[in-house]
């Protein structure tokens, strides 16, 4: 009976009836009390009360077709502008489809059970219940190939630099059209938020780069730059009293890429680090299948990805990102004042240099420690 009082110390489940006009943050605090509603409330509280403090660097991962569903415009852009997202890892598809909005193209609500053979004949593309003209793809491809053939792109670069340049061109196009904040890439460019893609060949942007390569032009993506830059961001975030938090909408390769920064620092480079401090994931994947998308925060501890002393500061919400994303966004915008932009894109070089300096010093120390004495 020694622990009974502790077990029963949680908020009493006796909510007032929901009434018209309730704000989203009050609705979540007062009525999301159990099951995945309770997990979502915990995620909202963790994000607003701890992860968005000034000393925390926040990485966001995006998987699934979120930007075609409008999540980029409705959620990611406001989070970036408020200083609540410092760096991003996305699927290439999310950033490709985000470009449609930057070019003023239209995607439409439809139905998931339409005749796809008929859609093919009519030149209509379907992403579940989102429909758009096939020419949206062709025109976006033509635009991307045209600008990626320009001189600024003709070199080795990280995906962060690639998307920064794409954002720069899209921001200029916005200016020509007299609009702003049409797409994630233009907003991230202006905010200095680096956008990485963990599998750069696995999207239409990568496919268009491959076409340019066949013509002997365009960007050359150096994936090692991505690995070192993202590790440099997390290493810099954890120096002194700083902290690192990750917010993951979905799982897959982007989830692994934001989390593998810690094994890169500890396991590969041999530097001392404790893992990310905060972990929030929205997923529909189960843990028992063994896939990365459903892997729990406690499993991540075993890899060094999460600080074992901060496991309580983690939560997994089992639901659709198109449900949780807007609710999380509305909650933190209501509860947290905007933060000053960290502009990590502008600091990539210095962060990698710091990581490299400490790695080389540690590498030399280990070589000396393991050197075999030579006979005289």
Confidence of residue 126 (pLDDT cuts 50, 70, 90): very high
In angstroms, the CA 131 to CA 114 distance is 10
Whether the model pTM is above 0.75: yes
Give tens-digit pLDDT for 17-38. Answer: 999 999 999 999 999 999 999 9
| pLDDT higher than threshold 70 for residue 146 | yes
* Active-site hit among 305, 337, 356, 357: 305
For the chain, domain boundaries: 34-364
Query: What pLDDT, in 10s, does the model give residues 308-329?
Result: 999 999 999 999 999 999 999 9
Active site residue 305: yes
CA–CA distance, 219 with 169 (Å, rounded to integer) = 15
How many secondary structure helices (H) and strands (E) does the chain include? 17, 11
What is the fold, at CATH topology level, of the domain defined by 34-364?
Deoxyhypusine Synthase (3.40.910)
């Amino acid at each position: 009976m020694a622990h009974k009082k502790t077990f029963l110390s949680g908020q009493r489940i006796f909510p007032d009836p929901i009434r018209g006009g309730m704000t989203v943050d009050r609705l979540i605090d007062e009525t999301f009390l159990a099951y995945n509603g309770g997990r979502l409330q915990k995620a909202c509280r963790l994000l607003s009360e701890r992860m968005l403090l000034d000393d925390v660097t926040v990485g966001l991962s995006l998987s699934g077709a979120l930007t075609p569903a409008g999540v980029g415009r409705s959620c990611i852009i406001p989070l970036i502008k408020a200083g609540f997202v410092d760096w991003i890892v996305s699927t290439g598809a999310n950033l490709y489809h985000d470009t449609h909005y930057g070019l003023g193209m239209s995607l439409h609500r439809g139905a998931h059970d339409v005749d796809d053979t008929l859609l093919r004949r009519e030149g209509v593309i379907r992403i579940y219940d989102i429909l758009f003209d096939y020419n949206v793809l062709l025109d976006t491809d033509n635009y991307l190939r045209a600008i990626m053939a320009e001189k600024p792109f003709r070199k080795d670069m990280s995906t962060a630099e690639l998307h920064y340049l794409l954002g720069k061109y899209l921001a200029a196009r916005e200016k020509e059209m007299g609009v702003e904040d049409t797409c994630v890439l233009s907003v991230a460019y202006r905010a200095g938020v680096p956008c990485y893609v963990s599998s750069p060949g696995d999207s239409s942007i990568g496919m268009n780069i491959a076409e340019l390569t066949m013509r002997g032009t365009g960007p050359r993506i150096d994936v090692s730059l991505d690995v070192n830059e993202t590790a440099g961001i997390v290493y810099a975030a954890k120096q002194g009293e700083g902290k690192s938090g990750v917010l993951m909408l979905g799982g897959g390769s982007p989830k692994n890429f934001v989390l593998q920064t810690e094994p890169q620092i500890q396991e590969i480079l041999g530097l001392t680090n404790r893992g990310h401090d905060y972990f929030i994931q929205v997923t529909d994947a189960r843990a028992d299948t063994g896939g990365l998308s459903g892997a729990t925060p406690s499993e991540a501890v075993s890899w060094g990805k999460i600080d074992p002393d901060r496991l309580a500061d983690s939560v997994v919400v089992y639901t659709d990102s198109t449900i949780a994303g807007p609710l999380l966004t509305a909650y933190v915008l209501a509860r947290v004042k905007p933060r000053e932009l960290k502009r990590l894109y502008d600091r990539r070089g210095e962060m990698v240099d710091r990581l490299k300096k400490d790695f080389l010093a540690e590498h030399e120390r280990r070589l000396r420690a393991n050197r075999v004495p030579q006979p005289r």
